[in-house]
Amino acid sequence: MTQSPLVLGAMMFGTQIDEDTSFALLDRFVERGGQWIDTANCYSFWASDSGHGGASERVIGRWLAARPGVRDRVKIATKLGAEPVEPGSWPERREGLSAGAVAAAFAASLERLQVDRVDRLWLHMEDRSTPIEETVGALAGLAADSFGVSNHPTWQVERGRAHARAIGALPFDALQLNATYLRPRPGTLPPGVAHRFGVLSDEQADYAAEHEMEVWAYTPLLSGAYDNPAKPIPQVYDHPGNTARLQALDAVAGEAGATRGQVVLAWLLSRGIRPMLGGSKLYQLDSAFDGVDLKLGSEQLERLDAADHSPWASPYAQR
C-alpha cells in the first residue's frame, strides 16, 4: 500500500477523545495507509485532571502494545519542552530545553509510548534560557532517528543545525508550524497558536526548501471552520485578501466536487507541506485522506495562489 502523506495528530487522545475512539482512529489511519503519528509529552495538560500531559503518549503506547506488528507500519513522532513544571504554571514555568530536562522528558516519553526509540523527536517551543547548542548536544545521544523543530525562529534553527554538524550529530531536518490556505492579519496569531514564531512565514518556508527540510502544518483546517457552519472562520483571517481567497477556494472546490478543507489539504501538499489532522471522528479522518488524494490541475492551483493578487511565492512551488 502506498504511504499517505497525512499526519495523524494525537493531541486530545486520552483526554477529550476517549481511548476506544482513539484506538478506532489509529486503526483507520493505518488501514488507509497512514504512517506518521504525532504527539507530545505535554498533551494535553490543559484538558487533564492532573494538570499534566502524558495521556496521549500513554494511549498510543497501549495501542501499540495491543496491535502486535503495527509498530513496523507506523512512525512515531513526539515533542518535548512545553510540559508545565506544576499544574497551572504554563507558560511561565515549563520544563524547557536544558540538557537535563531533555534527557528526563525523553526517557519518560519512551516509557509512556512503550517503545525503545522514536522516528522523530521535536523541540516543541523555544527556550531562550538555554543555548540551542546545549539542547542539540543533549539530543545527540538520544534514541531518535531524526530531529525537528516546532515554533522556533529561523536563526535558532540555523544555529542548532550548524552546531549539530560541528559535533557530528544529526541536524534538524524538519519544521512543524501552523499553515493553511488563508493568511492571518499581520501581527496576529490564529487561535491555537501560542507561540510567537508558530505561523509558517515565507522566510521559514524558504529556509526549509533551501535546506531540503520537511515542513509539517498543524491546524491546517482551522479546526473544521472551512466546512462546518457552526464554526466561524476566526477573525484574524477576516480581511479583503482572504475574501478573494475564499471565493477562489469555493470555485475550485465546486469544480473538483470536494470540500473546502479537502482543497486546502491538496493545496498544501502541492507545496510540499505535510498536513496534520487532529480530528475526533472517523468521517473527518476519511475526508482528510480523500483530500490528500485529491489532484488539482495547474490552472486551479494558479488561481488559488493568485486570488488575492499577492501570490504566495512558495519556494516549494518552484522546485
Average pLDDT across each block of 10 residues of the chain; the chain has 319 residues. List them in order.
93 98 98 98 97 98 98 98 95 96 98 98 98 98 97 98 98 98 94 94 96 98 96 96 96 98 98 95 97 97 87 46
pLDDT of 2: 83
Q: In this structure, are residues 79 and 150 in contact, taking their beta carbons and an 8 Å threshold?
A: yes
- Distance between CA 27 and CA 189 in Å, rounded? 34
- What pairing do the DSSP bridges indicate for beta strands 7-9 and 273-277? parallel
- Distance between CA 112 and CA 58 in Å, rounded? 5
**Domain coordinates of the chain in residue numbers?**
7-318
pLDDT of 316: 46
Please name the residue that has the C-alpha cell 509539517. Answer: 216
Residue type, 319: R
Joined grid coordinates for residue 274: 505535510
Who's near 8: CB < 8 A, 6+ residues apart? 25, 26, 29, 34, 36, 37, 38, 276, 277, 285
pLDDT of 310: 54
How many C-beta atoms surround the C-beta of residue 69 within 10 A?
7
Joined grid coordinates for residue 227: 466546512
Joined grid coordinates for residue 247: 471565493
Joined grid coordinates for residue 306: 493568485
Q: In this structure, are residues 139 and 121 in contact, taking their beta carbons and an 8 Å threshold?
A: yes
pLDDT of 269: 97
Question: Percent helix, strand, coil in the chain (nearest 5)?
Answer: 40, 15, 45
- Distance between CA 278 and CA 297 in Å, rounded? 27
Beta strands (DSSP E) in 13-159 are 36-38, 75-80, 120-123, 147-150
Q: In this structure, are residues 268 and 220 in contact, taking their beta carbons and an 8 Å threshold?
A: yes
Fold of 7-318: TIM Barrel (3.20.20)
- CA distances (Å), origin 130, targets 133, 152, 201, 267, 316: 8, 13, 24, 37, 32
Q: In this structure, are residues 62 and 19 in contact, taking their beta carbons and an 8 Å threshold?
A: yes
| 8 φ, ψ (degrees, to nearest 5) | -90, 115
- Distance between CA 269 and CA 243 in Å, rounded? 22
How many C-beta atoms surround the C-beta of residue 263 within 10 A?
27
Q: In this structure, are residues 33 and 115 in contact, taking their beta carbons and an 8 Å threshold?
A: no
How many C-beta atoms surround the C-beta of residue 250 within 10 A?
12
